[in-house]
């Protein structure tokens, strides 16, 4: 929330009164009789916390905290019908805002909808047999329609294709005719295949803007923390 009083009050009201309403609304008239009390105690808690922060000599904020961000957590205790009895475990964090990143648009591009997988294997190689069961399992878990999957026995019909791709070790997996993986484990296979679906991100007009009060705020913090 913002550090100005109105933002602080609105957020604290939503936190305390909102939680109270959701928790006890089924009590109906028994709960609604506490409305004035709950509103009053919430306002008093808000006033006390804000005034205490304003009075802190290290913050030196004068009449407001608008150059800061404030986050509050607390615990509420009620009676059985929803009357607020007390607030405890209060933790109010005050942050310095340095700036913000603004991007007009983020768009994805550059990846095909289907991934082409070519597995080069040998019937006499144990690792090849393991990967021949692992790869289809990965493909099935990610949806067969998303793949073009082919297997090539380098001691039979796949021999010439293997030469074309300069495959000298089995098992070898080639993804999208570009990435060659020699004897990969299941974790590597899954990571690399998932990476083939990850699009590139193109940004439009990204810029970082420093907060107007950043320089003064950083100077304030430095003066407080200096030895």
Q: Give percent of the chain with pLDDT exceeding 90.
A: 54
Mean of pLDDT values over 41-50: 92
Q: Which residue ranges does the chain devote to CATH 3.40.30.10?
A: 111-198
The answer to whether the beta carbons of residues 49 and 92 sit under 8 Å apart is: yes
The answer to whether the beta carbons of residues 84 and 31 sit under 8 Å apart is: no
- What does the pLDDT read at residue 114? 84
The answer to whether the beta carbons of residues 78 and 23 sit under 8 Å apart is: yes
Mean of pLDDT values over 61-73: 75
* pLDDT, tens digit (0-9, with 9 covering 90-100), for 124-138: 999 999 999 999 999
3 DSSP 8-state letter: S
What is the CATH architecture assignment of 111-198? 3-Layer(aba) Sandwich (3.40)
| Strands in the chain per DSSP E | 68-78, 84-96, 99-102, 105-109, 115-121, 147-153, 172-175, 179-182, 200-204, 207-210
Residue 62: pLDDT over 60 = no
* pLDDT, tens digit (0-9, with 9 covering 90-100), for 180-220: 999 999 999 999 998 888 777 788 899 888 777 666 666 66
The answer to whether the beta carbons of residues 192 and 181 sit under 8 Å apart is: yes
> 226, exposed or middle or buried, with CB in 10 Å at 0-12, 13-18, 19+?
exposed
* pLDDT, tens digit (0-9, with 9 covering 90-100), for 90-114: 999 888 777 888 999 887 665 557 8
- Between residues 198 and 144, the one the model is more confident about: 144
CA atoms within 13 A on the CB side of 197: 12
- What does the pLDDT read at residue 16? 94
């Amino acid at each position: 929330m913002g550090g100005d009083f109105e933002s602080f009050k609105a957020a604290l009201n939503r936190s305390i009164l909102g939680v109270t309403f959701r928790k006890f609304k089924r009590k109906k008239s028994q709960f609604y009789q506490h409305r004035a009390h709950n509103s009053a105690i919430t306002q008093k808690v808000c006033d006390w916390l804000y005034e205490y922060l304003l009075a802190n000599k290290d913050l030196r904020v004068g009449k407001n905290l608008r150059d800061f961000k404030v986050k509050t957590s607390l615990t509420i205790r009620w009676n059985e019908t929803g009357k607020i009895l007390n607030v405890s475990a209060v933790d109010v964090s005050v942050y310095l805002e340095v700036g913000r990143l603004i991007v007009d648009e983020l768009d994805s591009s550059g990846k095909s909808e289907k991934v082409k997988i070519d597995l080069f294997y040998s019937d006499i190689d144990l690792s090849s047999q393991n990967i021949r069961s692992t790869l289809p399992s990965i493909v099935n878990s990610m949806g067969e329609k998303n793949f073009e999957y082919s297997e090539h026995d380098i001691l039979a019909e796949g021999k010439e294709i293997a030469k074309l791709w300069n495959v000298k070790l089995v098992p070898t997996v080639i993804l999208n005719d570009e990435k060659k993986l020699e004897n990969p484990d299941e974790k590597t296979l899954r990571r690399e295949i998932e990476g083939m679906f990850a699009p590139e991100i193109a940004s439009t007009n990204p810029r970082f803007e420093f907060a107007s009060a950043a320089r003064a705020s950083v100077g304030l913090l430095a003066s407080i923390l200096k030895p």
